[in-house]
Amino acid sequence: MAFKQISSPHAHASQNTAKVMQLVLWATIPGLIALTIHFGWGSLINLVLATVTAVIAEALIIKLRGRPVSFYLKDYSAVLTAVLLGLALPPLAPWWVVVVGTLFSIVIAKQLYGGLGYNPFNPAMVGYVVLLISFPIQMTTWVTPAALLPEGISHPGLIESVQIVFSGLNPADGVTGATPLDSFKYADGLLVDQIYAQNPLFSQAAFAGVGWEWVNIGFLIGGLVLLASRIFTWHGPVAMLAAMTLMSVIFYDGGSSDSPGSALMHLFSGATMMGAFFIMTDPVSSAVSNRGRLIYGALIGVLVYIIRAWGTYPDAIAFAVLLANFAAPFIDNYTLPRTYGYTDRRRATEKEEDS
Amino acid sequence: MRTWITPGGVHPPENKHQSLTMPIGTLPLPEKLLIPLSQHIGTPAVPCVEVGKKVLKGQKIAEASGPLSVPMHAPTSGTISAIEHRPIAHSSGMLAPCIEITSDGRDKWKKHEGFKDVENATPAALVKAIGDAGIAGMGGAGFPSAVKLSPGYQRPIHTLIINATECEPYITADDSAIRERAAEIIEGIGILSHILGNPSNIMIGIEDNKPEAIAALEPHVEDTGISVVSFPTKYPSGGEKQLIYILTGKEIPSGDLPADIGMVCVNIGTTYAVKRAIVDGEPLISRVTTMTGDACGINRNYETLIGTPVSHMLANSEFNKETCSRLVMGGPMMGFSLTSADVPIVKTTNCILAPSYDEIPDDEPAQPCIRCGMCAEACPVSLLPQQLFWYSQADDHERLEAHNLFDCIECGACSYVCPSNIPLVQHYRHSKGEIQKARAEKVRSDHARERFEFHQQRIEQAEKDKEAKRTARREAAEKAKAKAAASPEKSASTAGGGAADIIAAAQARAAAKKVSPEQQQAKFERSIAGAEMRLQMAEEKLADAGDGHSDEQKNILTAAVEGARQKLEQAKGRLAEHIKQHNGEQVD
Ligand code: SF4
Ligand code: SF4
């Protein structure tokens, strides 16, 4: 009687990588719904366009690398990158913006570094930053929230949206406008209270910015689901949000005309919650240990705030995450956990003493 | 009682109920039993019987071969039918020396009796009896119990921990033994306590998924000072280090033994064997082994004779080869797969698992590591399994050691949770082996270098010696000449050759005598060669011990290497001393 030789352990939990990725994909739905309600069909079109591009690009590259295509496509990692990028891009952005960004994410930032698990930078954010630098106009044109559209104008319907995206048709006047972070940044000489009173983005908002607050709540809900499913630990997101809160409290400046804005605005504007739960939690490019992820998260929080407050870009998740990706190996070096039986943590580069 | 919580851990389905529906049973006597000479950590036993000899049940058939070894006994009466290499249950699937006994069907015991007055027996006598009974840790590692129970006077033991955790899924050998044999187990613990000088703290650590076993123990521990401590079920709480932390909140410093912090931890199955050995005079020739898994119609525990072929057990348990996905000795987390069912049950075999494909399907192909960190969350010793995996693939030994690879207990919790199905433990075992090989290689090359340098030095020394000899001879000759010149009449009175010849002759005699130091030197050199060989052997053994062996064993082997190295140093020292003296004599 011959039996197979298989190394231990023989039992295995039912989790697998594809399931993890799928769960993350499902968890973007509340955010996507909020985006669609408040900003129209654009995000959904982005998402589909990016996904198709990503899957084709990934399949081609895997084929070029001589690997089994279906085995690698089945891990859903390309789809996830595409979906995150699609959600981050401005709704109704021209199709080629989405395609170029996705190609950059998948081909350069992911596959050229060796594919899933080997990319030092978050692929979606690499794509995003490349677009932001190359096509600043398209990348900073946001759709006006539904509630603030001028009388008699509504968001384009699905068909019309597709036409806008593919044929360069211009949306009706007033459909695009500034984001809360934009308006706040360029509202020079006004006290915080004045901005809140004058700008409908704030005056008609519940607490942080019309539409945006709901988008952020959507991503927060999805993120909490992932946290509860132990897809990631709390360390990164909590550290990031805490650091942002702390920074905005310290530098609030009493609401003066130089104030970079309140903590609530920073937490619930722009891509904050998406960044905290869907972007910086990308495990591949982040720090490794829980303690490392605390530092990594805090670093992102601080960087986001610094760039938002004093940099030239109104939002900063992508830059902050990429900068922190650079720092991750360094953070890892000093944040190994303390192993059982040791009095202290070690450094990753420590050498055994010659005995 | 307060317990502590270890980091990490996993909760695989327990699957213990299947084998607990029936009491411990016995199998029909197998026709042939195969007793491997090495079922424990340490040197293999040496046969003390020849082929053809008739033996009685319990009769010694192999002697312990040193302090870290245990003897083997005949599990039944019969005839020694072979002493040769056979396949045994080892992860490498290797052949090992075994004694085969063909049973005579009578199962007739040799005369045996235990200690009449255990209370007044000396610990030394009891330890010796435990050693003679061939008892080695029955929880898995197989460390000779007599050695564990002699921690030495410099390390007083204040805490005795009995490991009844049995945290691996499926296995119920300890559970069922406790249910049925609690009184004898407690008696065994009493003996251990006596041997260790009555430690102030005696605890039986048991997971809370064994309420029946806990209830069975409780009436017997009353007024004994032994406490039964239960704690939440989590794999791997049964690792010695984990259990000690759970019960005491203390960690054994990396590289140390529990005895170094005043603790001894013994498996509960071993305590039963100790009772049988001391009170009844029975050597260790059988143990409780769980037969479980859906590929067997009968799931239960058997009191199994050591040496029983696994195939015999399967044949009596309605085994169906078609549905069996793999055959595992041990549990699903740390057990190793058997390629053949012909191998025997040994002293450490607590379980034979024959799962169906539904229970344990074939492994899925590994996907890339997504660095999700689930493995790190599961690791009970707070390692970063994903980093170990990364550096293991890169063969970066330095980083692996900085990430404490050697503190990995190979529990498999990381692989268990890994969503990418990466066989992490397999990578770690491989890297551990590689690093140990490299270490041994380094030691060897260091020695070779030293040896070479030493050799060079000796050649130079020999040159110097010769030169010195020549100088001495010349000087002596000149002196003689001068003397001869000073007293010509004396010189004339001696035979024609002159004084120089006489002195030369004397020197020749002296030189002849000097052969003896040279012989001496050769002797020293031989002893160096011997010491070197022993060192090399010890290192090899240490390198071989890479896989799946306890730290305890590695410490002992490391100590052996250290000892051999010291002996070598001493031998070299003696030679150097000798050469210096020898040289000194010549120059003087
Ligand atoms: S659990 Fe597996 S995939 Fe996740 S980090 Fe660990 S090794 Fe990588
Ligand atoms: S096998 Fe090693 S690395 Fe993996 S969980 Fe167990 S101790 Fe940690």
User: For A49-69, what is each residue's pLDDT tens digit?
Assistant: 999 999 999 999 999 988 888
| Sign of the C-alpha dihedral computed for residues B320, B325, B326 and B330 taken in this order | negative
In this complex, is the C-beta atom of B351 within 8 Å of any C-beta atom belonging to chain A? no
In CATH, B517-583 is 2.40.30? no
Label residue A8 exposed, middle or buried (CB < 10 Å: 0-12, 13-18, 19+): buried
DSSP string computed for B373-415: -HHHHH-TT---HHHHHHHHHTT-HHHHHHTTGGG-----HHH
Tokens 């959507």 -> residue = A218
Residue pair B461/B469 in contact (Cβ under 8 Å)? The answer is no
The two tokens of residue A4 are: 């197979």
**Do A245 and A130 sit in the same domain of this protein?**
no
Instruction: Give the single-character DSSP code of B22.
Output: S
Tally of domains in chain A:
2
Mutational test site, ligand 2, from B383, B384, B400, max ligand atoms within 8 Å of CB: B383
CA dist B528 → B59, B451, B565, B566, B575 (Å): 41, 10, 11, 11, 8
Tell me the pairing of strands B60-63 and B46-47. Answer: antiparallel
Do both A182 and A320 map to the same domain? yes
> Is the predicted ipTM greater than 0.95, yes or no?
no
Neighbours of B243 (CB within 10 A): 27
Phi then psi dihedrals of residue A172, to 5 deg: -60, 155
B330 and B138 in contact (C-beta within 8 Å)?
Answer: no
Q: How far is A47 from chain B (nearest CA, A)?
A: 23
**Strand bridging mode B46-47 / B159-163:** unpaired
Least confident of A33-37, A63-67, A283-287: A63-67
User: What pLDDT score does B587 carry?
Assistant: 39
In a domain, A6, yes or no: no
Look at the alpha carbons of B353, B356, B361, B363 in this order and tell me if their dihedral is positive or negative.
positive
Residue B10, SS3 per DSSP: strand
Q: Which residues contact A137 (CB under 8 A, 6 or more apart)?
A: none
For B169, the closest of A8, A11, A230 (CB atoms) is: A11
* DSSP letter assigned to residue B37: S
Please state the rounded mean pLDDT for residues A131-159. Answer: 85
Residues within 6 Å of ligand 2 by CB: B 378-381, 383, 385, 408-414, 424-425
A263 has pLDDT over 80: yes
Q: What angle do CA B105, B109, B111 make, to 5 degrees?
A: 155
Which is higher by pLDDT, B488 or A88? A88
Q: Which DSSP letter does residue A209 get?
A: -
**pLDDT, position B517:** 66
> Which residues of B, range 385-404, sit inside 8 Å of A by Cβ?
386-387, 398-399, 401-404
8-state DSSP, B227: E
Measured distance CA(B333)–CA(B330) in Å, rounded:
8
B369 CB less than 6 Å from ligand 1? yes
Partners of residue B161 on adjacent β-strands: B203, B265
pLDDT, tens only, A1-20:
688 888 889 999 888 899 99
Q: Are A120 and A323 in contact (CB under 8 A)?
A: no
pTM: 0.80
Contact present, B144 and B70 (Cβ < 8 Å): yes
Could you say which of A133, A167, A201 is where a domain stops? A167
Considering chain B, tell me which residue range(s) the CATH 1.10.287 domain(s) occupy.
517-583
Provide the residue type at B382 as one letter.
S
Structure tokens at B244: 């000690």
For B38, the token pair is 């090495």
The answer, for A67 touching chain B at a CB cutoff of 8 Å, is: no
The answer to whether the beta carbons of residues A338 and B376 sit under 8 Å apart is: no
What does pLDDT average to over chain A? 89
Q: What is the mean pLDDT of each run of 10 residues along chain B (588 residues)?
A: 91 94 94 93 92 94 90 95 89 82 93 89 92 89 88 79 95 95 95 93 95 94 92 93 94 90 93 95 95 94 96 95 93 92 93 94 89 93 94 92 93 94 93 89 84 85 87 84 66 49 61 60 74 74 62 70 78 74 49
- Residues A131 and A188 occupy one common structural domain: no
Which residue segment(s) compose the domain that A72 sits in? 16-146+161-167
Q: What is the DSSP letter of B340?
A: B
Higher pLDDT, residue A257 or A45 = A45
A110 & A197 share domain: no
**3-state secondary structure (DSSP) of residue B291:** strand
- In total, chain B counts a number of residues equal to 588
Please report, in angstroms and rounded to a whole number, the separation of the first and last CA atoms in chain A: 48
Buried b (16+ CB within 10 A) or exposed e, B75-93: bbbbbbbebeebbbbbbee
Contact A171, A164 (CB under 8 A): yes
Chain B 2-21, CB below 8 Å of chain A: which residues? 10, 12-13
Domain with CATH 3.40.50.11540 in chain B: 17-29+115-353
List all residues of chain A from 72 to 101 with a beta carbon under 8 Å from chain B. 75, 77
The secondary structure element, H or E, covering residue A156 is: none
Closest CA to B423 of A79, A281, A7, A155: A7
Q: Which residues of B touch A20 (CB under 8 A)?
A: 370, 372, 419
Tokens representing residue A136 in the block: 């600043």
SS3 for B336?
strand
Q: Are residues A259 and A116 in the same domain?
A: no
Q: How many CA atoms lie within 13 A of A217 on its CB side?
A: 13
Name the residue with the closest Cα to ligand 2, atom 3.
B385
**Atom 1, ligand 2: residue with shortest CA distance:** B410
Left (φ > 0), alpha (ψ -120 to 50) or beta: where does B293 sit? left
> Residue A230 has which token pair?
């132990």
A317 part of a folded domain: yes
Residue minimizing CA distance to atom 5 of ligand 1? B371
Distance (Å, rounded) from C-alpha A61 to C-alpha A115?
Answer: 10
Other CB atoms closer than 10 Å to residue A170's CB: what's the count?
A: 10
d(CA B331, CA B326): 12
Residues A140 and A186 in one domain: no
Radius of gyration of chain A (CA): 22
Which residues from chain B sit within 8 angstroms of residue A115, using beta carbons? 368
Short-list A214, A227, A310, A213, CA closest to A266: A213
A230 & A324 share domain? yes
CATH architecture of B17-29+115-353: 3-Layer(aba) Sandwich (3.40)
Longest dimension (CA), chain B: 116
State the SS3 of B485-551: HHCHHHHHHCCCCCHHHHHHHHHHHHHHHHHHHHHHHHHHHHHHHHHHHHHHHHHHHHHHCCCCCCH
Nearest CA to ligand 1 atom 2: B418
Report CB contact under 8 Å: B333, A10.
Answer: yes
3-state helix, strand, coil split of chain B in percent (to 5) is 45, 15, 40
Q: Which two tokens stand for residue B362?
A: 């074939």
Q: Per-residue confidence at A144, pLDDT binned at 50, 70, 90?
A: confident
B364 contacts in chain A (CB < 8 Å)? 16
Task: Say yes or no: A55 and A194 in one domain.
Answer: no
Q: Tell which one of B379, B389, B403 to mutate to probe ligand 1, the residue whose CB is within 8 A of the most ligand atoms.
A: B389
Tokens 């890339």 locate to B368
Q: Which two tokens stand for residue A40?
A: 């129209």
Residue A77 forms part of a structural domain: yes
* Beta-carbon count within 10 A of B504 CB: 16
Whether residue A73 sits in one domain with residue A191: no
- My answer on whether A131 and A187 are in the same domain is no
Residues A328 and A191 in one domain: yes
In-domain check, residue A194: yes
**How many CA atoms lie within 13 Å of A353's alpha carbon, on the beta-carbon side?**
2
Length of chain A: 355
- For residue A205, what pLDDT band results from cuts at 50, 70 and 90? confident
Q: Of B319, B410, B322, B325, which Cα lies nearest the Cα of B360?
A: B325
CA distance A12 to A229: 18
Q: What would you report as the CA-atom Rg of chain B, rounded to the nearest whole angstrom?
A: 31
Q: Do A77 and B370 touch (CB under 8 A)?
A: yes
Instruction: Give the ligand whose atoms come closest to the C-alpha of residue B385.
Output: 2
Name the pairing type of β-strands B226-231 and B201-207.
Answer: parallel
Instruction: Give the pair of three-digit tokens for residue B453.
Output: 């340098």
Last residue of one domain, picked from the residues A115, A138, A167: A167
A198 with A329, same domain?
A: yes
Half-sphere exposure of B27 (CA within 13 A, CB side): 33
DSSP string, B407-422: G-----HHHHH-TT--
